[in-house]
Amino acid sequence: MAEAVLAIRDLCKSFGALRATENVSIDLVPGEIHALIGPNGAGKSTLIHQIAGTLKPDSGEIEFLGSPVSHLGAAERARMGLGRSFQVSSLAPEFSALRNVMLAVQSRQGTSFRFFKPVMRDATLVEPAMEALERAGLKDRARVPAAELSHGERRQLEIAIALALGSRAFLLDEPMAGMGPEGSKTLTGFLDGLRREAPILLVEHDMDAVFALADRISVLVYGRVIATGTVEEIRSDPEVRRAYLGGAE
C-alpha cells in the first residue's frame, strides 16, 4: 500500500465521562475514498473536528503529508492542503458563491495582508475560482449570495471551496445530507472522479453512496473503530451487522 496522506494514530477524546473518540487509528492513502460510517452519536463529527483542527484531542497523533500536525491550528492545516466540508454548511452568507471560493484562492496564493488591489478585478483570483465553481457545477450561480443558494448548492459550493484550496486530502462531513436523490447521484459521480485528485475521508449516512464509492470503510461505534475493510468485508462482518447495519437496514 502507498504511503498514507493522512494517518491518525491512537486518537482519544473525552467529554467528561463520555469517550467520544477512543484509540482511533485510521489512515487515508492516495487515490482512495475511505468512508467513515457509524450510528448517530458514534463520534464521527468529533473525529472530523479533531482531524481538521477545530477540536483538540486528549492524546494521540495526527500526521498529514508525513509530518505531525497535532500542534497546528485549523487555519494552518487548511493551508497545508486539508480541505473540509461541514455537516451543516459553513459559508460567508453575504458573499456570492464566487467570493466564497475566491477567499480560498486568495489563501492558497499566500498572505491576505494585501491592502490595495481590488479583488474583483484580480484575474488571478477570479479565474481559478470560476474554474472550481464550474467543476462543482455551480458556474451559473457564481454571483448569487451564499445565503440564497439551495441546500444542495451550498454543499456544492463547499466542495468548490475545497477544490480551489488545492487540497491534498478532503474531509467531507455528510456531503449528501439533505440532498434529493438526483443531487446525490450527481454528487456521487463527482466524488468518484475527485478521488483521483486527492483522497477523501467521507463521513456519510447514505449507504448507497458509501457502498458505491468507498474503497475502504471504517465503522465507528461509541468512539471506537470496530472494523476497517473493503465494502465486501464490511458487509459480511458479523460484528458490524450486529452493531449497525442489521439494526439500520
Partner 1 sequence: MSISRETAINLVLALLLLAVPFIAMQLGKPFYVTLATRMAILGLAAIGLNIALGLGGLVSFGHAAFFGIGGYAAGILASHAFSGQPLDFGLFAVPGSKLMPVIWAVAILAGGLLAAAIGSISLRTSGVYFIMITLAFAQMTYYFAISWPAYGGEDGLSITIRNTFPGVNTLVPQNYFLICYALLVVGLVLFAVLRDSRFGAALQASRQNEVRVASVGIAPFRIKLAAFVISGMITALAGALYADLNRFVSPSMLSWHMSGEFIVLIILGGVGRLCGPLAGAMLFVMFEYILGGLTERWQFFLGLLLLGVVLFARGGLIGLLAGRARHG
Q: Taking the complex as a whole, how short is the minimal distance between the CB of residue 51 and partner 1, in angstroms?
A: 12
Q: Taking the complex as a whole, how short is the minimal distance between the CB of residue 12 and partner 1, in angstroms?
A: 24
Q: Which is nearer to partner 1, 70 or 184 (CB)?
A: 70
Q: Taking the complex as a whole, how short is the minimal distance between the CB of residue 101 and partner 1, in angstroms?
A: 9
77 with 53: CB under 8 angstroms?
yes
Of 91, 200, 206, the closest CA to residue 141 belongs to 91
Q: Taking the complex as a whole, how short is the minimal distance between the CB of residue 43 and partner 1, in angstroms?
A: 20
Q: Which is nearer to partner 1, 173 or 206 (CB)?
A: 173
Q: Which is nearer to partner 1, 108 or 224 (CB)?
A: 108
> What is the spatial distance between Cα 175 and Cα 156, in angstroms, rounded to a whole number?
8
236 with 34: CB under 8 angstroms?
no
Interface with partner 1 (CB under 8 A): 52, 54, 73-76, 78-79, 84, 86, 90-96, 98-100, 102-104, 106-108, 111-120, 125, 143, 145, 161, 165
Q: Which is nearer to partner 1, 103 or 203 (CB)?
A: 103
Q: Taking the complex as a whole, how short is the minimal distance between the CB of residue 49 and partner 1, in angstroms?
A: 10
Q: Which is nearer to partner 1, 90 or 228 (CB)?
A: 90
